[in-house]
Structure 1
């Protein structure tokens, strides 16, 4: 099939590679424009952009689409059978949704209608869901409201991190989108019940609220690393928590209960296992505490 692929982050790369390997004619790859990154703030292409160049594919990086009529016309001129979208980052206007002969299909990282929106993988872990999955849906103008073509569940392990779940879902999405294009399954409307939303995350979402229960804080650590990251304040510094585990313990929320970074929460306690100071390398708790003590009785912000 003659396709456009539209995606930007690492999540979308396996699908692009799978479509290319399967022999589909990828007329153009659309992704976010290069952004400043790293200490030198050098303009850096996104992961999909880099993969597309490696595969020898044409890349387009419009900064916006809604009112760019020339971009609408250029997209229509590609003569597409379909467009495959995976975490692209821009909303497709009606003119572009309607341009491919078979429309646009989206690889969404949840079992719709649960966790429509920008951060479904994070949201599933934060909520303590037992399972999530991939839904291949036909796109319409609403936010992840289109009818479903295929879906497959993935169990969420009790200690699942967002990184591991992300990679599993990215690989599953690549396999399912190939099936959807090959099998052309009928589209099934999403049910009206069970709709939830996963909004875009911000850095503020990473602050650890010690009045929450330890299990919820553990899920937050696993769900929000590496980005936006979870953190607390102590000694005038913002300390990142990269790994933790729930343990018994009680005390005023935010109080350090021993000399090995056990912190009281609203219910239970959280053992901090891996931490990082600003501008420093991440460390396991024992060496970290030798250079930056969290003494028994200290109150963490």
Structure 2
């Protein structure tokens, strides 16, 4: 036996779950994804999402509506006569007729320990807040923002120097396996649901461009968490001045270090930088238009060093 599944997702994070569901033998009757977007240096070429491309590889119909609010789209959804909808980082709000448009409802794979970090950027926000643990949850969706009852949870530790990219990959694999387990229990009629607690809710708002700039006046732990929480994208950044010319540089990795000094000052020849209190050591950087490089390699090509200050 298998379930008739409508899958709804867009990025690489979602594609892993789509592949796992297909490999588990469920019948995927349609895939919904965000419409192709302009890409490339001039933004002239429309690029399909990772989920869209995988669905085509699997031979599954792909639908890319800009909205699901219209009656025609909602009826087309119901006409698929699916058992369940699986939603992972889709990117559109689902109105009630869509949530109720399958026999068993819609189940979401969410990358946090709900009710902490509801919303758009739970992976980055968990690291930026200094959390030592997060996880994947499968919940039954309702009309609220990530407020539905939870079916399954898998916890994932956040290492002290772990980046958002590394945590993304760990949660992606965890979430794919967890959703397959949830569908097996759902098919067997043994999937139980627990309401989310009222206390402890936080919201993971979308990362704004202006947040990416480093503020060296903050404490070292906060600066370190900011750097790793925005790595690799969009990338925390600062300006380095050499020979009177300011250069914008992305900071991709760091670690906690010892040292004191004026905020933003380089304290040694290993790119240890003073913060509002304490210091961080920069271990991976990226110049504009260049590739990521280790601190030692970066220093060989940059005319900065001990005593210089970062803005």
Map of 2:13 onto structure 1: 11
Deviations 1:62-112 (A, max 9, x none): 12223x222111111111111000000110011111111111000001111
SS at match of 1:290: helix
- Is 2:210 the partner of 1:204? yes
Against the structure 1 CA distance between its residues 287 and 152, is the aligned structure 2 distance closer, same or farther, given a 3 Å change threshold?
closer
- Is 2:236 the partner of 1:195? no
Question: Residue 65 of structure 1 is aligned with which of 65, 68, 78?
Answer: 68
Q: Which runs of 4+ in 1 moved over 6 A?
A: none
Task: Report the Cα distance in structure 1 between the residues aligned to 2:162 and 2:295, rounded to whole angstroms.
Answer: 20
- For the 8 Å contact 2:163–2:253, the answer to whether it is kept is no
| Counterpart mapping for 1:181-192 below 5 A | 181-184=183-186, 185-192=191-198
SS at match of 2:134: strand
Question: Residue 76 of structure 1 is aligned with which of 78, 91, 112?
Answer: 78
Moved more, 242-251 or 99-108: 242-251
Matched pairs, number:
300
Map of 1:130 onto structure 2: 132
Task: Report the Cα distance in structure 1 between the residues aligned to 2:122 and 2:111, rounded to whole angstroms.
Answer: 6
Deviations 1:226-260 (A, max 9, x none): 11111001232211011111111111111122233
- For the 8 Å contact 1:8–1:46, the answer to whether it is kept is yes
Map of 1:250 onto structure 2: 260
Q: What TM-score does the superposition give when structure 2 sets the normalisation length?
A: 0.93
Moved more, 184-193 or 139-148: 184-193
- Is 2:118 the partner of 1:108? no
- For the 8 Å contact 1:205–1:228, the answer to whether it is kept is no
Task: Report the Cα distance in structure 2 between the residues aligned to 1:285 and 1:171, rounded to whole angstroms.
Answer: 30
Map of 1:280 onto structure 2: 290
Q: Deviation of residue 283 (structure 1)?
A: 2.1
Deviations 1:28-84 (A, max 9, x none): 111111112232422111111111111111111112223x22211111111111100
Task: Report the Cα distance in structure 2 between the residues aligned to 1:194 and 1:143, rounded to whole angstroms.
Answer: 15
Moved more, 99-108 or 214-223: 214-223
Consecutive unaligned residues of structure 2, counting only runs of 5 or more, are: none
Moved more, 217-226 or 255-264: 255-264
Question: Residue 46 of structure 2 is aligned with which of 31, 43, 65?
Answer: 43
SS at match of 2:181: helix
- For the 8 Å contact 1:202–1:228, the answer to whether it is kept is no
Map of 1:298 onto structure 2: 308
Task: Report the Cα distance in structure 2 between the residues aligned to 1:121 and 1:62, rounded to whole angstroms.
Answer: 27
Consecutive unaligned residues of structure 1, counting only runs of 5 or more, are: none
Moved more, 205-214 or 136-145: 205-214
Task: Report the Cα distance in structure 2 between the residues aligned to 1:102 and 1:220, rounded to whole angstroms.
Answer: 40
- Is 2:249 the partner of 1:239? yes
Q: RMSD between aligned alpha carbons?
A: 1.4
Task: Report the Cα distance in structure 2 between the residues aligned to 1:258 and 1:162, rounded to whole angstroms.
Answer: 27
Map of 1:269 onto structure 2: 279
Moved more, 263-272 or 233-242: 233-242
